[in-house]
């Protein structure tokens, strides 16, 4: 029924992920540039840095995504719980009103007429 997930913090997570990808791309470019200018050892070091940092940045992006999904799932769970509690309270109130209407039909009629006036 209510399966809408909050996207309030999606732009911020997307921006962080975009920045992390840009950092990864920049480091890759630095590694490539260094490899053209430097010796074979420096080139290998630049590539190793880019290779080492790339998976780390990808893991950070993945963690942000997982955190967002968990937060959305928890919000959905809390919302569903609130709906269930509200339904129980509403049903209890209706049962009480029905019981009182059966016990005191004249008072119920007086309240109904007073509410219409």
Residue that has been written with the tokens 């490539």 in this structure? 32
Is the pLDDT assigned to residue 100 strictly greater than 60? yes
* Model confidence, pTM: 0.41
CB of 48 closer than 8 Å to CB of 38: no
Q: Where are the domains of the chain?
A: 10-90
pLDDT value of residue 70? 83
| Cβ neighbours of residue 3 closer than 8 Å, sequence gap 6 or more | 76
Alpha helices in 1-117 (DSSP H): 10-37, 40-103, 105-116
pLDDT value of residue 62? 80
pLDDT value of residue 36? 62
């Amino acid at each position: 029924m209510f399966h809408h997930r909050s996207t309030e913090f999606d732009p911020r997570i997307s921006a962080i992920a975009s920045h992390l990808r840009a950092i990864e791309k920049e480091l890759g470019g630095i590694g490539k540039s260094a490899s053209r200018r430097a010796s074979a050892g420096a080139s290998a070091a630049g590539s190793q840095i880019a290779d080492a940092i790339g998976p780390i940045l990808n893991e950070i992006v993945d963690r942000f995504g997982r955190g967002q999904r968990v937060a959305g799932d928890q919000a959905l769970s809390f919302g569903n719980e609130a709906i269930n509690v509200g339904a129980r309270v509403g049903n209890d109130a209706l049962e009480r009103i029905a019981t009182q209407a059966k016990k005191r039909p004249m008072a119920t009629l007086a309240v109904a007429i007073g509410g219409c006036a």
